[in-house]
């Protein structure tokens, strides 16, 4: 049985990084199955999946060699070997609203989402019972100091071997430093038909503008707020004279359904992100 590892390389952009990493993997007997790289705002990010057919593989030697190379390149390197038939692991980021996280939990239990919830993160403790109910670790991060909070969260994501991050109405903005470390692996649900009404209070903006159709958008999170590739959307017509509370209530119902749908598409590898646009495959 072959060994498979996901490897990420992050740091200030410089020449020769791709060549050095791929050369090391080739010399270790690896076959590179997937590779993606990007430079943005002077920051380099490369993720790749490599496999080895050699049995047995000295994983410790390979991992230490990659980390040593990272030190030479002055790059941040992460290596995680994947176990055969292991489920993908998600982290649920929540704040106070229960509809979206509860919907994700139900979908996981019903096996509609091919993953397990390995961590629940929140800037409040209101939804801690969700984590207790499913037996997942709960991490409370105090966002009075965002840099400190994100450092704590990043360390726990690594400890829990998280593959995907799901922002289930998490009401805090993730920094570019955080997002860059999990590029194309963070799914968010936003209460508007993006690109309309980005940012906070989207339902209120729609209500005050008198829109006749209100919607939600599930999208990949990027370093630019609410501008990431859109995965899927849904909408409903606003009844004449509908109150703000009625709009929010209906919106939260389709938020939950749309977020679950987006997770399914991503985890079942039904999508491809190319030049900032999501394509069905």
pLDDT at 71: 95
Using DSSP, state whether 76 is helix, strand or coil.
strand
Q: Checking DSSP bridges between strand 43-52 and strand 31-40, what pairing results, if any?
A: antiparallel
pLDDT at 11: 92
pLDDT at 87: 86
Q: What is the mean pLDDT of each run of 10 residues along the chain (281 residues)?
A: 89 93 93 90 90 85 94 93 84 97 97 95 97 97 94 95 96 92 94 93 93 95 91 95 94 96 87 59 56
| pTM for the predicted model, two decimal places | 0.89
CA 233 to chain centre: 18
How far apart are the C-alpha atoms of 220 and 218, rounded to whole Å? Answer: 7
Q: Which residues of 16-168 form beta strands (DSSP E)? A: 31-40, 43-52, 76-82, 88-94, 115-122, 138-140, 164-167
The residue extents of the domains of the chain are: 3-82, 88-280
How far apart are the C-alpha atoms of 198 and 212, rounded to whole Å? Answer: 17
pLDDT at 41: 83
Using DSSP, state whether 159 is helix, strand or coil.
helix
pLDDT at 272: 61
pLDDT at 273: 62
Active site residues: 226
**Domain 88-280's class?**
alpha beta
Give whole-number Cα distances, 206 to 24, 138, 212, 225, 253, in Å. 53, 34, 9, 18, 17
Q: Buried b vs exposed e over 210-242: b needs ≥16 C-beta within 10 Å?
A: ebeebbbbbbbbbbeebebbbbbbbbeebeeee
pLDDT at 83: 79
Q: What is the CATH number of domain 3-82?
A: 3.30.70.260
Give whole-number Cα distances, 157 to 14, 63, 190, 223, in Å. 27, 19, 23, 19
Contact 223, 180 (CB under 8 A): yes
């Amino acid at each position: 049985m072959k060994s498979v590892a996901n490897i990420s390389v992050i740091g200030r952009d410089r020449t020769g990084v791709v060549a050095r990493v791929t050369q090391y993997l080739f010399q270790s007997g690896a076959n590179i199955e997937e590779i993606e790289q990007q430079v943005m705002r002077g920051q380099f990010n490369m993720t790749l999946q490599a496999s080895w057919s050699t049995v047995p593989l000295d994983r410790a030697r390979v991992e230490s060699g990659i980390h040593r190379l990272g030190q030479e390149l002055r790059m941040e390197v992460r290596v995680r070997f994947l176990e055969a038939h292991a489920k993908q692991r998600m982290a649920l980021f929540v704040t106070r609203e229960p509809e979206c996280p509860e919907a994700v939990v139900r979908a996981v239990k019903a096996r509609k989402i091919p993953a397990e919830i390995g961590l629940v993160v929140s800037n409040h403790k209101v939804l801690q019972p969700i984590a207790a109910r499913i037996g997942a670790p709960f991490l409370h991060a105090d966002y009075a100091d965002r840099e400190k909070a994100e450092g704590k969260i990043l360390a726990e994501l690594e400890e829990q071997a998280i593959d995907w991050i799901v922002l289930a109405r998490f009401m805090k903005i993730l920094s570019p430093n955080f997002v860059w470390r999990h590029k194309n692996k963070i799914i968010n649900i936003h209460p508007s038909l993006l690109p309309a009404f980005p940012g906070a209070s989207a339902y209120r903006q729609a209500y005050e503008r008198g829109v006749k159709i209100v919607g939600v958008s599930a999208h990949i999170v990027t370093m630019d707020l609410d501008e990431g590739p859109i995965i899927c959307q849904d909408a409903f017509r606003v009844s004449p004279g509908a109150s703000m509370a009625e709009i929010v209530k209906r919106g939260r119902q389709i938020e939950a359904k749309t977020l679950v749908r987006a997770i399914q598409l991503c985890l079942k590898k039904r999508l491809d992100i190319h030049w900032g646009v999501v394509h069905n495959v």
